[in-house]
């Protein structure tokens, strides 16, 4: 069978996410120490972690489906014909070609990860504000 085609549109965002998460983890003490930017870095970490799960999962799924298709190519010519065409092949082929969700996961992952990380940022800043207000309020009356 021909060389396997890798989904670069999924692999590249996955590698970028891994790289950025690695940098954040290595510099975490410096980044998370400043209370002013703490929730920004937490939400950024969550963004890239969720994005990596979405796009990495789509990459894994794409590659595993292509490998599953290769099992049906008995003579290794890259074509499915004769005895190779079975109901299992048709099922595997349908799963492989129904890939709109996988192919656009790098775009939909941006929106989904962005919404989740934005909510984490807003909730974190709100809790921080309430705690600061409560501490200030308690200090005034003590």
Q: How many CB atoms lie within 10 A of CB 112?
A: 15
- Average pLDDT on 104-117 reads 96
- Average pLDDT on 63-91 reads 77
Rounded CA Rg of the chain: 23
Contacts of 110 (CB under 8 A, 6+ apart): 51
Average pLDDT, the chain: 86
Per-residue pLDDT tens over the stretch 2-54: 566 788 899 999 999 999 999 999 988 887 777 788 899 999 999 999 999 99
Percentage of the chain surpassing pLDDT 70?
89
What is the per-residue pLDDT for 1? 47
* Model pTM score: 0.82
């Amino acid at each position: 069978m021909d060389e396997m085609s890798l989904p670069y549109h999924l692999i590249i965002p996955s590698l970028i996410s891994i790289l950025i998460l690695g940098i954040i983890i290595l510099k975490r003490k410096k980044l998370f120490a400043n209370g002013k930017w703490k929730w920004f870095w937490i939400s950024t970490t969550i963004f890239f972690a969720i994005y990596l799960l979405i796009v990495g999962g789509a990459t894994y799924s794409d590659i595993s489906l292509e490998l599953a298709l290769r099992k049906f190519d008995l003579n290794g010519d890259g074509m499915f014909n004769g005895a190779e065409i079975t109901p299992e092949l048709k099922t595997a082929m349908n799963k492989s070609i129904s890939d709109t969700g996988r192919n656009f996961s790098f775009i939909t992952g941006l929106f989904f990860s962005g919404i989740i990380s934005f909510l984490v940022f807003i909730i974190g800043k709100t809790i921080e504000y309430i705690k600061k207000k409560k501490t200030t309020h308690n200090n005034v009356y003590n």
